[in-house]
A and B are shown apart, each in its own frame.
Chain A
Amino acid sequence: MKVAFYPGCVSKGACPELYVSAKAIAGPLGLQLEELTQAPCTGAGVLSEQNPELGDALNGLTLAMAEAEGADLMTICSTCQGVLSQHNHGLTNDKSRLDRANATIADQGFRYGGTTKVKHLLWMLFEDIGIDRVAAAIKRKLTGLKIAPFYGCYILRPVEALGLRERPERKTYLEKLIAMLGAEPVEYKGSTKCCGFPMATFNREKSLAMGGNHILEAKEKGADLLVTPCPLCHLNLDAQQPDAARVLKKEIDVPIFHLPQLLGLAFGMDPSELRLDHHVVSTKGALEKVELKV
């Protein structure tokens, strides 16, 4: 299945392990990734907040690029998913906004007709690729691991733009997937909460406390690791974890996996091929539980 692949800035910046692992699992899932190399950053909501029209134009351009590719746009980041969904929702429901965005991108040779579907890899697994195909690709059951899902705000809220009114099951895909891969999903309050990343530059200590508290709650409930479909959550939960532990004055030490890394492991791939050795918090302990080494 062909998809217009939108990897997002972070998978090509501070989380290269996400990009590498997403490319690695495309084959077993039968995904043909047509990467939108010329698509700009979504602005992560930060640009749209100060200049909504700029947000419409930049994201309208990306949506037009996917439309020209004739495929659904696939994200691997909850934040990209949220911002693109919100702009897509706005542009397709308000003709004056669409016309304005199109007027801005017209002389660049682009026009958005309003037909692109924006879908995170997590949604595609269930809605497009199909769970049968995912199940068929499993070569190594992750039995014995207790995994806490961590969604990231923008794949859950706001519900209208993300189509969660029509498809409430999107709120439970991670738990279902974890169980399908043979592991045990951990139920805890923090799974749908904020990692604190958006505040990281404004109020660092509170941001660290926010993320750290959720990991500690999952750990308390027995989690061996957290899995997230969002690299920004990953940065706050993994890269900042030592600092969060300092702020909360508690030992945390829980590894955070990207969604494609978890899939790749279940598909029988080598942990180093998925760059599980490129994390700030070591993944060693969790991998040993399924008799793997990094």
Chain B
Amino acid sequence: MQFTIEVGRYDPEGHYADDAVEGQPFPAPWDHSPVRRYQTYTVDLPEHAVVLDALIAVREYQDQSLVVRCACRSAICGSCAMWVNGHAHLACKSKLQEFTKDGKTRVEAPASMPLIRDLVCDMTPFWEKHLAVKPWLQNKQPVPPPNQEYRVPNASMEELIQEVSCISCGACLMDCESFAVNPDFLGPQALAQAYRYAGDPRDAETKERLAEYSKPGGIWDCTHCYECVTQCPKGVAPLDQILKLRKMAVDAGFTNNAGTRHADAFAESVRESGRLNELTLMPKSVGFFNIVEQIKTLPSAFNLLRAGKLPPLIHKKIPGVNRIKTIFERVGGRFK
């Protein structure tokens, strides 16, 4: 079966084939990524072939200059994550037939990572974030070597199987929307690993971890877009793990942040009126005494007022609101 792939090429020295076409620059925030040239190849492969098969076929039989990073070819090593039609996927797991659009599949290094050559990006930002969350078990102080292995109940590890499945391919970070505008964000992979260790009963530094992860760049800087859940080839669902960390952090008392204030203000409004009170949510989340941030929100409040969109000053309750209050009380826990 014939497949056509359009490969984003990049050579820091600027040598390209004559038929390589300069591509459109990426939109902001990736507009700083080097301009690539796109070269089209046609390969003859079985119908079940994957993107990586095509890339290897090109490198072996058509164009030795093509640089591609891969190893296991079985979705285990995590080295061939790249953009396929603009989203991060493992090339070895992406069937050409499923990705072919208008007769071709576009393959390139993600614009969200520094570029080295052709399909190879520099994973340094990824590994820095990974290490920043201390992805290993920690003891409080040096302890003598144990006489036997540390045993944990099966049930407590079942909670963590999902996170352990991470193969560090970086697909989630490559497509992370918060990372795109905020390079300091720890990102989905690192935070999913953070939960894997914070949630491990053998770890003795849970509180310290939660304090660290609650800082700017941590759990509250995720925009909750589910891109990481969609792109992860191993079902780690990083966003779900970030949400678990948020709950753990709040339960452990790390509540002096806009994220917790926002959740508390949101809950209060729904409990008392059944609905969201947009008028009080922003000031309560920012913190009433955070004058600088309060002032920053004023122009947009003024714009709403001018357009006749400012929510009613007297917040209306839904009919039967007592029912909602009772549900809050009955469920208990935070927000009661």
Contacts and interface: CB of A to CB of B under 8 A. Distances in A.
A54 B325 CA distance: 11
Given A38-B318, A51-B333, A54-B328, A280 B304 contact: yes
A49 B246 contact: yes
Counting chain A residues whose Cβ lies within 8 A of the other chain, the interface size class is: 35 or more
Given A157-B226, A202-B262, A9 B276 contact: yes
B275 interface: yes
B28 A50 contact: no
A264 interface: no
B86 interface: yes
Contact of A198 (B223, B299, B335): B223
Contacts of A38: 274, 318-320, 323
Interface string B244-261: 001100100000011100
A44 B226 CA distance: 14
B230 A45 contact: no
Interface stretch (B41-49, B53-61, B263-271): B263-271
Contacts of A154: 226
A280 B221 contact: no
A39 B297 CA distance: 30
A209 B319 CA distance: 39
A206 B182 contact: yes
A50 B225 contact: no
Contacts of A202: 220-221, 257-259, 262, 285
Nearest to B258: A202
Contacts of A105: 327
Interface in B267-315: 267, 269-270, 274-279, 281-282, 285-286, 293, 296-297, 299-300, 303-304, 306-312
A19 to B, nearest CB: 12
Interface stretch (A116-124, A126-134, A237-245): A237-245
Interface stretch (A136-144, A176-184, A213-221): A213-221
Contact of A49 (B263, B293, B303): B263
B177 interface: yes
Interface centre among B246, B277, B326, B330 (most CB of A within 10 A): B330
- Dominant SS among interface residues on chain B: helix
B21 interface: no
B216 to A, nearest CB: 8
A28 to B, nearest CB: 25
B262 A46 contact: yes
A44 B316 CA distance: 19
Given A38-B320, A39-B318, A40-B270, A157 B227 contact: yes
Contact of B324 (A40, A107, A200, A278): A40
Nearest to A48: B243
A4 to B, nearest CB: 15
A125 interface: no
Contact of B330 (A104, A188, A278): A104
B327 A57 contact: yes
Contacts of B311: 13-14
B266 A46 contact: yes
Contacts of A190: 27
B79 interface: no
A216 B29 CA distance: 11
A278 B304 CA distance: 9
B315 to A, nearest CB: 9
A153 B178 CA distance: 13
Interface centre among A14, A58, A154, A201 (most CB of B within 10 A): A201
A29 interface: no
Contacts of A57: 327, 330-331
Given A14-B278, A49-B243, A54-B335, 10 more contacts: A37-B319, A43-B270, A51-B334, A58-B327, A61-B327, A193-B227, A199-B222, A199-B224, A201-B286, A203-B216
